[in-house]
A and B are shown apart, each in its own frame.
Chain A
Amino acid sequence: MVLYFPPFIYTFFVLLGTIITISSNSMFGMWMGLEINLMAFIPMMINSEFNKKSTEAAIKYFLIQALASAMVIFGMMTFFMFNSLFSSAASKVFMSIALCTKLGMAPFHFWFPEVLEGLTWINAMILLTWQKISPLIILSFFLLNKFILILAVSSAVLGAISGINQTSVRKILAFSSISHLGWITTIMIANSSLWVNYFLIYVMISFILCLSFWTLNLNYFSQLITMKDLSKKFMVFINLLSLGGLPPLLGFLPKWMAIYILKWKFSVLTVLIFSSLITLFFYTRLCFSTFSLHVQNNLWLIKENNKKKSIILSTLMLFSVLGILPLSLIFL
């Protein structure tokens, strides 16, 4: 179908929606921004690829997000029921559930991997990063500590366990996103402003990973094994381990911050660390298989020589490896 609006208009409205949400004075303005964001993101998903998969993903995304938006506005209306603002716990529960559905936090996360599976890499990047900003900011206003803690811990654990036997790259990113959201909301409960730093570093790592998968045209890990170029494999794995939170890499910094913040909630911290250990286990197993499984006949291996791509990816990888030193001085 010929559509007359270029993708720039959709991007503009996606940005506008989030900015309206963040900067509105009333709850109604916030909801309006969420809706604008949703409505503009859906044509972005459909237009990029004329594929059954992306259409199905777009329909699923629309249904889930529309339901969540309806719950948001319903929750907002219940705030005014008892003649006072922000006093009712039930209203906060409603809002939290709706916003967790929007974010893709457990136990409302089942749509997230399937939807991410059907998107192009740019849209996947937007869904993983930008689309999370407005719900997280609203969640930080309507926080109900004990309830959100349950959701956060279950996100971290479920994200880790579900990611164990996945071969698709996008699904791995989806489950790691669910897991990281658990960490972010736990920090939100303990300290109200440092979750933004965690989120920013997570955005950076996601961006690097999505860019590398896009340039290397990777959708499944089995494709990585038949790649001859060791440096490309190395780049992907450094970034993936950084996502998992392995110490000298950039991805460890937000977890380090979280450990400082959650010093007094040791039980929660233990559960979160164990869940990230599970994801790290899977990434290292993948790493091991990729570097050690050898394909015998070298004639069949596809060789790609693109210097520009390699330069960009290498600089980003360097940032991923060495970034922790300057950033830890700023943040910690």
Chain B
Amino acid sequence: MIPEGSSVHPYAHCSSADMSLLGKRAAAGRKLCSLVFTGCQEMLVRQLRTTVPVFKFWERDIKAEYGRERKTLPDKQMVVDGLKELKHEVGVWKDEFWNKFTKEPLFLVRPGEVDTVFQLNSEAALERWIVTADRDNSDGQSQGELVLGRHGKAVLRGTLDTTPPKDGSKQRAGYCNMRCLRPQKSFKRDGFFDWSAYTHVVLRVRGDGRSYMLNLASMGYFDLMWNDMYSFPLYTRGGPYWQVSRIPFSKFFLSSKGRIQDKQCPLMQDRITSIGITAAGVSGPFQLEIDYIGLEMDPKHDEEFAYEMYKTPSFIAGV
């Protein structure tokens, strides 16, 4: 027993072998403590990340991070509105049923002819399009609108601003997107655009020299595939003349939430949910006049998919 107040070293009673073992243990303990401390430091520093971490096993909501709390109407109002919509939907269902038994599906698509899907020359046509820009989601300062221009055609115009918002949550900013509504069957069931008989998308546009991105969203059934988007740049000339861009379906590459996927596969032409055009990348004003968006069948086009997939070892190509 070591008496209190003495100046003897606490471990004076131990032998030299014990001392070396104790020394080793102490050193190990100190090392462990420093590791934990630096780990804590790193964790604290890592809290100030600039991208949204995703710790989810599955995605509950289609809107994901952009879901908003919306005001709900009083119950009685909802019931009344619902009954009105019910009447309309029953009418749509009756038409569908009648068309199914009396009309034939489109068997023959004439080669070389353009079948217009969207003719953007009236307010009613523009109501089927949704325009979103940075500013709407507090992601930046860009803004955009889709209006009928001087020549009776739709104009997508606005300004892009690529400075990211000051709260540091985003690293890049600056986009404006127009997207058509998803086709709906009766009773608000989700439908698809069935463009399996065609090979090319044809757009008659008059741009301002910028490169826009043409997106074909083909939302999958499962949550992993909800954000599947097939894209290809739409290059514009900027001149006073209209241009007709013909882009084959085989050139579209797969991306999801803005990230181009390692494992590419061709677009499923009968499972397209919407078509859209995005302006992004360079700050400044943009203007794109759109006459029509159509489809063409070119029998000489035999390219199935423009991008080759090479066989890579496991876990190299993200699969």
- Whole-angstrom CA separation of A168 from B218 in the bound complex: 18
List 21 A–B pairs whose Cβ atoms lie within 8 Å, in order of A's numbering.
A1-B319, A2-B311, A50-B309, A51-B266, A52-B220, A56-B220, A56-B225, A164-B101, A165-B100, A165-B104, A167-B105, A220-B196, A221-B107, A222-B106, A222-B196, A222-B197, A225-B107, A286-B107, A289-B108, A293-B107, A300-B299
Residues of chain B within 8 A of A222, CB atoms compared:
106-109, 196-197
Residues of chain B within 8 A of A52, CB atoms compared:
218, 220, 225, 228, 254, 265, 268
Asked whether B111 is an interface residue with its Cβ less than 8 Å from the other chain, the reply is yes
B197 touching A220, Cβ below 8 Å:
yes
Interchain CB contact (< 8 A) of A300 among B99, B268, B300, B309: B300
Residues of chain A within 8 A of B268, CB atoms compared:
52-53
Given contacts A52-B228, A165-B100, A168-B270, are A59 and B108 in contact (CB under 8 A)? no
Q: Considering the complex, which residues of chain A in the window 269-308 have a beta carbon less than 8 Å from any beta carbon of chain B?
A: 285-286, 289-290, 293, 295, 297, 300-302
Asked whether A166 is an interface residue with its Cβ less than 8 Å from the other chain, the reply is yes
Interface of B is mostly: loop
A226 touching B319, Cβ below 8 Å:
no
Report the minimal beta-carbon distance from A313 to chain B, rounded to whole angstroms: 22
Smallest Cβ-Cβ distance to A52: which chain B residue: B265
Q: Binary interface profile of B, 92-121, with partner A (CB < 8 Å = 1, else 0)? A: 000000011101111111111000000000
Residues of B within 8 A of A (CB): 99-101, 103-112, 194, 196-197, 218, 220-222, 225, 228, 254, 263, 265-266, 268, 270-271, 299-300, 309, 311, 313-314, 319
Interchain CB contact (< 8 A) of B299 among A53, A56, A59, A301: A301
Residues of chain A within 8 A of B254, CB atoms compared:
52
- Whole-angstrom CA separation of A2 from B316 in the bound complex: 11
A60 touching B221, Cβ below 8 Å:
yes
Interchain CB contact (< 8 A) of B222 among A53, A59, A290: A59
Q: Considering the complex, which residues of chain A in the window 48-64 have a beta carbon less than 8 Å from any beta carbon of chain B?
A: 50-53, 56, 59-60
- Whole-angstrom CA separation of A55 from B99 in the bound complex: 33
Interchain CB contact (< 8 A) of B107 among A2, A51, A59, A167: A167
- Whole-angstrom CA separation of A11 from B106 in the bound complex: 38
A226 touching B111, Cβ below 8 Å:
yes
B314 touching A1, Cβ below 8 Å:
yes
Report the minimal beta-carbon distance from B190 to chain A, rounded to whole angstroms: 13
Report the minimal beta-carbon distance from A312 to chain B, rounded to whole angstroms: 24
Report the minimal beta-carbon distance from B212 to chain A, rounded to whole angstroms: 25
Residues of chain B within 8 A of A166, CB atoms compared:
105
Residues of chain A within 8 A of B99, CB atoms compared:
165
Residues of chain A within 8 A of B100, CB atoms compared:
164-165
- Whole-angstrom CA separation of A73 from B313 in the bound complex: 40
Residues of chain A within 8 A of B103, CB atoms compared:
165
Interchain CB contact (< 8 A) of B111 among A60, A164, A221, A300: A300
Closest 10 CB pairs of A and B: A300-B299, A293-B108, A222-B197, A289-B107, A167-B105, A51-B265, A165-B105, A165-B100, A52-B265, A225-B108
